[in-house]
Amino acid sequence: MKQASHQLADSTYAQLREQSRAQAASKMPLRLQESVKLDDITGRTIAQLSRWEAHPDRRVMWSWPHWASRYAAIYPKRFELAIWFHSMLCSVSLGRPTWGAGKLRLDFIESSPEKTPLTGNTAQLTVIAAEAYAINIGAQQVRIMNPINNKVRSHYESLGYLYVGGKSNFCTKDLI
């Protein structure tokens, strides 16, 4: 059983995630606002993710059920986002504030390995939601950890992020 302080933090940050998703949704292009839903990672999300597991075009091999439950148990202040186009899951992401709370790190971002109406746009929607959440929790920077390849890294750079190489390997954007 979770301790009361963990439950309180979980509840408080769930409200901040919801508020951040609403702020991000209001910044989406009008043509997407009625079709796109920004949500937490739910049981429905996990069920849809099972379709991605063995897809031949999938570029990563992490287990969403494992990481989503781990983050929920360990990080009440986590960032989590599932992007839906009607009933089609298009992208999922997980992150958490750094220990000093000045930065929000996005540790896992994955778009559907199948083509969707949002293909090419999910990273932009993810960073809009992540930046809103970072501001709501008082973080001054967002970091996208370990971009999978140069093409993905360049895409984040096109969204205003700066790549930090070497051992660090992340893309960063200051919010203030």
DSSP class of residue 166 equals T
Q: Is 97 exposed, middle or buried (0-12, 13-18, 19+ CB in 10 A)?
A: buried
∠ CA 56-49-117, nearest 5°, is 75
The per-residue pLDDT for 2 is: 54
Sort strands 88-97 and 103-111 into parallel, antiparallel or unpaired.
antiparallel
pLDDT at 48 (0 to 100): 93
pLDDT digits (tens, 9 = 90+) for 92-134: 999 999 988 899 999 999 999 999 999 999 999 999 999 999 9
Low-confidence ranges of the chain (pLDDT < 50): 1
Sequence-distant (6+) residues with CB within 8 A of 50 are: none
pTM for this model (two decimals): 0.93
Residue-level pLDDT at 3: 66
Element (H, E) at 108: strand 103-111
> 122-136 and 150-158 helices cross at what angle (nearest 10)?
60
